Amino acid sequence: MDPALGPPEAMAEKRDELTPMMRQYHDLCARYDDAIVLFQVGDFYETFCGAAERTARLLEVALTSREDSTGEYPMSGIPIDNAESYIEELLEAGYRVAVADQIEEPGESPGVVERAVTRVITPGTLTEDELLAGDDNNFVAAIARGAGTEGDTAEIALALLDVSTGDFLATSSSSCEAIADEVSRFDPAEAVVGPDAPTDLLPENCMVTPYDETAFDRDRAGAKLSAYFRNPDALLASDAEIRACGALLSYAEYVRGGAHEGERGETADKAETEGDAPDDEDHHLEYLTHLTRYDPREYLLLDAVALRSLELFEPRTVHGRDDATLVGVLDETASALGGRKLRDWLRRPLLEPDRIEARLDAVEELMGAVQTRERLHELLRDVYDLERLIGRISRERANARDLRSLRDTLAVVPEVREELADADCGRLRRLHDALDPLADVRELIDDAVVADPPIEITEGGVIAEGYDADLDDLRGTARDGKQWIDDLEERERERTGIDSLKVGYNSVHGYYIEVTNPNLESVPENYQRRQTLKNSERFVTPELKEREDEIVGAEERADEREYELFCEVRREVAAEVERVQRLAEALATLDALVSLATAAAQYDYCRPEIIERGGGADSDGRVLEIEGGRHPVVERTQESFVPNDADFTDDRRLAVITGPNMSGKSTYMRQVAQIVLLAQVGSFVPASAARLTPVDRIFTRVGASDDIAGGRSTFMVEMDELATILREADENALVLLDEVGRGTSTADGMAIAQAITEHLHDRVGATTLFATHHHPLTELADDLAAAFTLHFEVEQVDGEVVFHHEIAPGAATGSYGVEVATAAGVPDSVVDRARELVAAADADTEPGDEATDTATASSDAPAAETAAATADGGDVPTDVAAELRALDLAHLTPVEALTELDRLKRLLEE
Ligand code: ADP
Ligand code: MG
């Protein structure tokens, strides 16, 4: 906890002496001691003491002070009107914010104005539209560890909740890494952790919130879940999951705050006595209606490294354009709902061919039906964010405009349905049937709420004429009264004979009759003087006063009645939460499918053929066949892109890819993986043809990504990631290795690369693409039955390198590093000198060169030499070679691997 949070020391010492207001502040700080308490004083949210100093500095607002009988306190305030942007900054700086609103009008009751925390705002539990990205979820996670029954490893459960949309998921695994992978997939902004939760699996950008241990109690969590879902024990797989989900629900209720409105004082009264006992019924979040339990193994597994290197959501380079991502290329969604759905699909590609085909069928149909697709896209643009709307409606935070937005969305539904009326494929037909236009809800809103309501819901003008007889009466009374007054001027002029007599209104004195000084003697008896002006007098009559009271009374009661009615309508709509959510789900899915179809049409993608493993007619093995494949992201940023093929089977499963720098190796490998991934998402793919069996995991080790910030050497990171691959990959995985073994000496790097290649080939059996500058690996590939070589050829024209970006069988002939340097504009003198050195080095390593002694071969001799030595086993002492071969890399930690290497090296040097 931040030491500046919690009750200010200066106040804590003398709590009992504080003024009532400061005592209130002190107590709220004590109750919400992990947050900055924003304390409403009139039009401002104030903070005091340490918190004031902090917010003043952070938000660049003035630091003032407040003095009362008990002392002087630093103070700093932000205007309520503009609070969201300040709150956003506080969140970004890593704080939670508790908003303490005045829950009664000043003067309503004796003593200090009552205040209560109406909401706690934390990065993971945002519901404010201003603070949320529309097209992505914002998750808060909870992690709990299971007890671990006999013979069973302790389980770790992960629960994920998007408070703004109601998306609620749970999973568990006995492997910490598997849970870490799921965390990377969903990238929660915040994680609520229990007493024994492993927090080290959380990424740095995730706020860790230690939370009430008892909420993680098996029984309490179970009870909490039962309040939401009928049979949580059947829904969830383990105690750990129940504890994570139950605790997360408690937390979601807690951040909802004591009073859920802040609209009117009365709703908040209860909040005062509640304290922070979050079990109160009133905190119940009705819109959390579904909880999805899933097994990480149901989806294509992508760990943090793969998500990054395949550019799913983040550009690979820091300076990369935001749209230089897979989602950037594919996202043609029209609504926020669809945007989130598409991201969820990309995050969790499928494994089962049937499910993949169902999506592909829909994409194909929509792609072909151009008009329908375009029309659907148009219609879907008018779809509001239903999930968040119904969330707000359910939390009683929606205003009349929100209800109208819901109504406007519902109005689109029949047309969307119509477009799908002739749909062929099952998926689209089911969507058609799921599109419930909620005619009753639409009618209710149409009848009840005016077309263009004001933002405020307590000041009238919200409820439509004819909806409620009482309201119409009140409005009638007010209207009649006003009409009576409008006519009064005419009547009184006639009665008094004063032609200049005027009836007017001002906010202090109300209605009056104004008579100019020359006419004062004609004033009738029942006029009562109210105000004397320079040239005239203002009067009222008892009748006028009576009418006026009637009007004001009727208007006040009408406003109250309207608010009552509005809340009623809102509750009625809220009762339909599940139907609205089902509709939202259908619209989201449709939007995502239309988006995939649009991208496919726009970029000329093809439908991949998904082949069930073990179910193929010709062979039972794996297939990964791509004709004319392209990199979906690079081809968008490039004037022309050269398509390339790929062809992998059980007998050709490991490709060693060589070629000079910049020839296209990395691009090629990533495009192969992205095509596989897209296919499993149910998307068309950037190729002219593709056939493949789904893979269940993609591993990547692409490029030399530094982790200097994390304090680990590049080599260490590399070995760490490699260790994971070697430990966890199997024949259903797709493995990309790009320039592995660079972070150490050539000989070590070569040795590691070779050992890895052999291991992947012999024991793992994964489909592997290995780009390497270690040319001897290509020779190794010739010796391994299921390995083969690919290379990128470049041409030298007039001493300059021309890249064709065309992949071909076989190994590359040279590295062309020097030529690339020329192309890059390195001065001629440097290039010439480099050429000399290369020539000399080549001479040194001519076959048959006698100069090799083991010591140099192992440390800094060129790679070819070592490889030659290793390949025939000649110059490496047999004991060392044997030890190398026996090395079980799959069961070594990175540190052990390093130690082992170091030992072997020493053996060679002896
Ligand atoms: P390598 O990994 O061999 O060093 P890259 O894959 O990083 O090479 O490719 C270098 C650059 O070449 C890419 O940034 C891209 O601009 C271009 N490139 C790669 N492949 C292709 C291709 N198939 N068609 C057109 N340009 C390509
Ligand atoms: Mg590369």
264-296: per-residue pLDDT in tens? 433 333 333 333 444 445 678 889 999 999 999
The mean-pLDDT minimum among 461-465, 543-547, 802-806, 834-838 falls in: 834-838
Instruction: Assess whether the C-beta atom of 411 lies below 6 angstroms from ligand 1.
Output: no
Q: What is the mean pLDDT of residues 104-109?
A: 79
Q: What is the mean pLDDT of residues 178-198?
A: 90
Residue 866 above 60 pLDDT?
no
- pLDDT tens per residue, range 482-536: 999 989 999 999 999 999 999 999 888 889 999 999 999 888 989 999 889 999 9
The mean-pLDDT minimum among 712-716, 826-830, 896-900 falls in: 712-716
Q: What is the mean pLDDT of residues 646-654?
A: 95
Give pLDDT, residue 358: 97
- pLDDT tens per residue, range 652-694: 999 999 988 888 999 999 999 999 999 999 999 999 999 999 9
Q: Which of 813 and 853 is assigned the larger pLDDT? A: 813
CATH superfamily of 609-809: P-loop containing nucleotide triphosphate hydrolases (3.40.50.300)
The mean-pLDDT minimum among 79-83, 282-286, 484-488, 593-597 falls in: 282-286
- For residue 820, the ligand closest to its alpha carbon is 1
Does 500 appear as a known binding residue? no
Residue 571 above 70 pLDDT?
yes
Reported pTM: 0.83
Q: Please give the distance, rounded to the nearest whole angstrom, from the Cα atom of residue 667 to the centre of ligand 1.
A: 5
Residue 244 above 90 pLDDT?
yes
Atom of ligand 1 nearest to the CA of 771: 2
Q: Are 172 and 238 in contact (CB under 8 A)?
A: yes
The mean-pLDDT minimum among 114-123, 176-185, 850-859 falls in: 850-859
Q: Please give the distance, rounded to the nearest whole angstrom, from the Cα atom of residue 825 to the centre of ligand 1.
A: 18
- Band of residue 3 on the pLDDT scale cut at 50, 70, 90: low
Residue 602 above 90 pLDDT?
yes
Q: Please give the distance, rounded to the nearest whole angstrom, from the Cα atom of residue 663 to the centre of ligand 1.
A: 6
Instruction: Assess whether the C-beta atom of 773 lies below 6 angstroms from ligand 1.
Output: no
Does 666 appear as a known binding residue? yes
Give pLDDT, residue 713: 62
* Average pLDDT across the chain, whole number: 85
Q: Please give the distance, rounded to the nearest whole angstrom, from the Cα atom of residue 805 to the centre of ligand 2.
A: 12
CATH topology of domain 331-438+577-603: MutS, DNA mismatch repair protein; Chain A, domain 3 (1.10.1420)
Environment class of 708 (CB within 10 Å of its CB; exposed 0-12, middle 13-18, buried 19+): exposed
- For residue 794, the ligand closest to its alpha carbon is 1
Instruction: Assess whether the C-beta atom of 661 lies below 6 angstroms from ligand 1.
Output: yes
Atom of ligand 1 nearest to the CA of 643: 23
Give pLDDT, residue 895: 67
Residue ranges covered by each domain of the chain? 9-121, 134-254+281-298, 331-438+577-603, 469-571, 609-809, 817-909
Alpha-carbon distances of 629 from 563, 608, 772, rounded to whole Å: 60, 11, 21
CATH number for the 9-121 domain, one of 3.40.50.1860, 3.40.50.12780, 3.40.1170.10, 3.90.190.20? 3.40.1170.10
Give pLDDT, residue 359: 98
Give pLDDT, residue 865: 39
Environment class of 94 (CB within 10 Å of its CB; exposed 0-12, middle 13-18, buried 19+): exposed
Dihedral, CA atoms, 529, 532, 535, 541, nearest 10 degrees?
-20
Instruction: Assess whether the C-beta atom of 823 lies below 6 angstroms from ligand 1.
Output: no
Residue 867 above 80 pLDDT?
no
Residue 108 above 70 pLDDT?
yes
Q: Please give the distance, rounded to the nearest whole angstrom, from the Cα atom of residue 525 to the centre of ligand 2.
A: 100
Atom of ligand 1 nearest to the CA of 640: 25
- pLDDT tens per residue, range 37-70: 999 999 999 999 999 999 999 999 999 999 988 8
Residue 877 above 50 pLDDT?
yes
Into which CATH architecture does domain 134-254+281-298 fall? 2-Layer Sandwich (3.30)
Instruction: Assess whether the C-beta atom of 858 lies below 6 angstroms from ligand 1.
Output: no
Q: Please give the distance, rounded to the nearest whole angstrom, from the Cα atom of residue 703 to the centre of ligand 2.
A: 6
Instruction: Assess whether the C-beta atom of 399 lies below 6 angstroms from ligand 1.
Output: no
- What CATH number should be reported for the domain whose range is 469-571? 1.10.1420.10
Give pLDDT, residue 577: 95
Residue 861 above 80 pLDDT?
no
The beta strand positions in 650-732, using DSSP E, are 654-658, 689-692, 697-701
Residue 858 above 60 pLDDT?
no
The mean-pLDDT minimum among 134-148, 315-329, 409-423, 773-787 falls in: 315-329
d(CA 751, CA 774): 10
Give pLDDT, residue 259: 46
For 648, the token pair is 């992998």
- pLDDT tens per residue, range 728-743: 899 999 999 988 776 6
Give pLDDT, residue 846: 41
Does 328 appear as a known binding residue? no
Instruction: Assess whether the C-beta atom of 40 lies below 6 angstroms from ligand 1.
Output: no
Name, in order, each residue with C-beta under 8 angstroms of 371's C-beta and a sequence gap of 6 or more: none
Give pLDDT, residue 267: 36
The mean-pLDDT minimum among 6-15, 584-593, 599-608 falls in: 6-15
Does 664 appear as a known binding residue? yes
Neighbours of 349 (CB within 10 A): 24
Q: What is the mean pLDDT of residues 694-704?
A: 83
Residue 618 above 60 pLDDT?
no
Q: Please give the distance, rounded to the nearest whole angstrom, from the Cα atom of residue 605 to the centre of ligand 1.
A: 20
Instruction: Assess whether the C-beta atom of 658 lies below 6 angstroms from ligand 1.
Output: no
User: Using alpha carbons only, what angle is made at residue 254 by residues 251 and 258, rounded to the nearest 5 degrees?
Assistant: 170
568-587 burial string, b = 16+ CB within 10 Å, else e? ebbeebbebbeebbbbbbbb
Q: What is the mean pLDDT of residues 300-307?
A: 90
Nearest Cα to Cα of residue 229 among 162, 288, 169: 288
What is the DSSP annotation of 738-766?
Answer: ESTT-SS-HHHHHHHHHHHHHHIIIII--
Tokens 């690996």 map to which residue? 777
Give pLDDT, residue 322: 65
Q: What is the mean pLDDT of residues 202-214?
A: 89
Does 76 appear as a known binding residue? no
Q: Do domains 9-121 and 331-438+577-603 have the same CATH topology?
A: no
Give pLDDT, residue 844: 53
- For residue 670, the ligand closest to its alpha carbon is 1
Give pLDDT, residue 617: 55
Give pLDDT, residue 94: 87
Instruction: Assess whether the C-beta atom of 686 lies below 6 angstroms from ligand 1.
Output: no
d(CA 487, CA 56): 57
Does 151 appear as a known binding residue? no
Give pLDDT, residue 707: 42
Give pLDDT, residue 346: 97
Q: Please give the distance, rounded to the nearest whole angstrom, from the Cα atom of residue 894 to the centre of ligand 2.
A: 24
- pLDDT tens per residue, range 360-385: 999 999 999 999 999 999 999 999 99
Instruction: Assess whether the C-beta atom of 642 lies below 6 angstroms from ligand 1.
Output: yes
Instruction: Assess whether the C-beta atom of 665 lies below 6 angstroms from ligand 1.
Output: yes
